[in-house]
Each structure stands twice: as structure tokens, then as C-alpha cells.
Structure 1
Amino acid sequence: MTLAYTMAPGRGDTDMILASLAANLATRGIRCCGTVQINSERCDAGPCDMDVRVLPNGPVLRISQDLGPSARGCRLDPDALETAVGLVADRLSSGADLLIVNKFGKHESDGRGFREVIAEAMAMNLPVLVGLNALNRDAFESFAEGLAVQLPPEPAALMAWVGEATAPAKEAV
């Protein structure tokens, strides 16, 4: 079982790093399953729109709700997220070299979202790379039960880990 996570300091930085990594891996023939997040600034200066692209080639799903300019709190659309989870679970069973989950967020911390998909991938001995933020770190560490390794949010370090983590799968082919 190979489980890793990365955390970048700036808002949206982990999303950009994981999206870039997935694109780079695709060009190298690594079959990625999972999601990467794409944040789009809004013309009304409200909070960004959040979309996820289901790997490897879509669809792109809007996972944020527009709650209005005065709204506070979580804008996650749980139904859209669960749709993404279902698509990833279906694709996982079709074969992959790596599972990338854009974020172990509040939904996962509360026992929903990608938790079961991550556990299933680990049971399949499929390497898993998760984006994480400080708010959900304790919940992730509890979920991971000491099995996860933290990776620096640097493309070279992530590529090196993926190369090592997927090597046994490549050798078996």
C-alpha cells in the first residue's frame, strides 16, 4: 500500500500542482484515475468557481454552488462531488497506475466523498496521492493510520514518488 499527500501553502496551489502533475503523467503513459480541481475566477469578484476534471479525460463537473455574494460557509455541492466519486470508482475498476484525489476535504473528514475510493485503491495496491490542507490534516492522518507519507509540493519530488510507487506495476507488465 502506497499513500502520499501534498500540501502547498497558497490558496489553489495544491490544485495547480496536481493538475500539472496529472497532465505530465499522461504524456508519459501513466494511467491516472481520480480528480484534479480547476478554480475559475468570477467576473463578479465573488469566490472562485470550483470544478473537478475526472481523470483521465473528463468530464468536468462544477462542484461549487453559487450561494450569492453575501453567503458565508461551505459552497461545496455535495451531489456534484458524489457524482465525481461515482465516476472515479467506475474508472478505478477499469485499471489505473495511480489514483489522484484533488483534496481530502471536509466531506472526506466526515466519512463521505473519496474515502471509500481511496481505501479501495489501497486494497488494490494502487498508489494514491491526495491533496490536503491544514484544516483537514488531523482527519486525514486518522484515516491514514500512519500509512501516509508527506511529499513536498514540488513537481520533481512528486514525479520521483510516482516513479517509485508505480515501478512495481510497470515491472509486472
Structure 2
Amino acid sequence: MHKDDDFDPEAPLAAAIVDDRSLDMDAFLTAIVRRQQALGLRLRGFLMKRPPRENGCAATMVLVDVNDASEYLVSQPLGSGSRGCRADPAAFARASQVLREALEQAPDLIVSNRFGDLELRRGGFSAELLAAMEHGIPLLTTVAQRNAEAWQQFSGAGRLLPPDEAAVSAWLAAAIALSRASS
């Protein structure tokens, strides 16, 4: 992982906060997004919301559009004993329209709640994440520690950030400045 003091402004405009399970990553990313919006930045993408568990079943996964708070249910009810992946590929495909529209809007930052198992298999939001990188739009996501190497391969050596507000803020400021300078 890179520290603030060795930040390379020429590094790719894509970064993933490594989820080392030291904090609630969904809450952490939400707080970062809200602070950036309060600063007046134009953000597009998704945050994850997990409503309370029902009937002993695994938590429901709902993506929330950071622009207009629209919600997209992206999990399948598999039952309380299920160990399989709850992610619903068809629901992710429907939600991906938000990210495709974001590419046309050229926001300051695109946020994706997670680079996860679907993206590892080139599903989920993988096409939209690659398109954001191709368009030179700064991209911020999170990644489980076990998938950090796969993120770097996918993103072309995208930045890995610690779950630290100062490190994420420093990357955001540099990435947005670099993006604006090249526009």
C-alpha cells in the first residue's frame, strides 16, 4: 500500500480502499462521499446500504445512487441456510445504467461501492469501471484484502489506499486535480 508521502500524481486515476475489516467500510465510504459532496464536487455512482436482517436470512444488499438517492435491490433471497453468493447479476446489470450515464456527465469522481466477486469474473460493474478509467474520470471503490492483487491487475496497477481518511482525501485531491488538468 502507498502512504500519503509517496503519492505519485501520475499514478492511475483509479483507487480502491482496502477493506482490512478494521471498520465498517460501507459507512466509511459513505462518510467520504458526503464530505466530498459538501465540498461541491460532482459525484456519481453507488454506496451500499444493508437494511436489517429479516427472518434470519443474510442481509439484503441495496445500492444507493449518490446523486439522487435512488435505490437498487441487488441481492437475491437465498434463505437462511444459504452460503452462496447473494448478488443478483441481473439487478447489477439494471443498476449499471447509472454508471453508464455518469460517463456522459463527466463528474469529478465516480464511486463504486466495491470491486468484488462479480467484477473478478468480469461481471457486475466491470465494464463501467473500465470505461471510467478509459475516460480519465477518477474512480474510487473498495476492495477486500483478499482481492487487492486482482484489483491492481484489473485496474492496471490502480492505487491501493488504506482505510484512512487522510490517505483517501489526499488521493482524491490529487486525482481530481490531475483529471481537471488533463481535460
TM-score by length of 2: 0.84
Work out the number of aligned pairs and report it.
172
Q: Which moved more, 1:14-23 or 1:163-172?
A: 163-172
Alignment partners' CA distance in 1, 2:177 and 2:149: 30
Alignment partners' CA distance in 2, 1:161 and 1:11: 20
Closer, same or farther in 2 for the Cα pair 1:140/1:169, shift >3 Å?
closer
What are the equivalent positions in structure 2 for 1:23-172 lying under 5 Å apart? 23-146=34-157, 148-169=158-179
What one-letter code is carried by the residue in structure 1 that aligns with 2:168? L
Which digits, 9 at most, give the CA deviation of each residue in 1:109-137, with x for residues without a partner?
A: 11122222122111221111121013433
- Once the two structures are TM-superposed, the CA of residue 11 in structure 1 deviates from its matched residue by 8.2
Closer, same or farther in 2 for the Cα pair 1:38/1:158, shift >3 Å?
same
Alignment partners' CA distance in 2, 1:73 and 1:119: 27
What one-letter code is carried by the residue in structure 2 that aligns with 1:105? G
| Unaligned stretches of 5+ residues in structure 1 | none
TM-score by length of 1: 0.89
What one-letter code is carried by the residue in structure 2 that aligns with 1:40? P
Matched-pair identity in %: 27
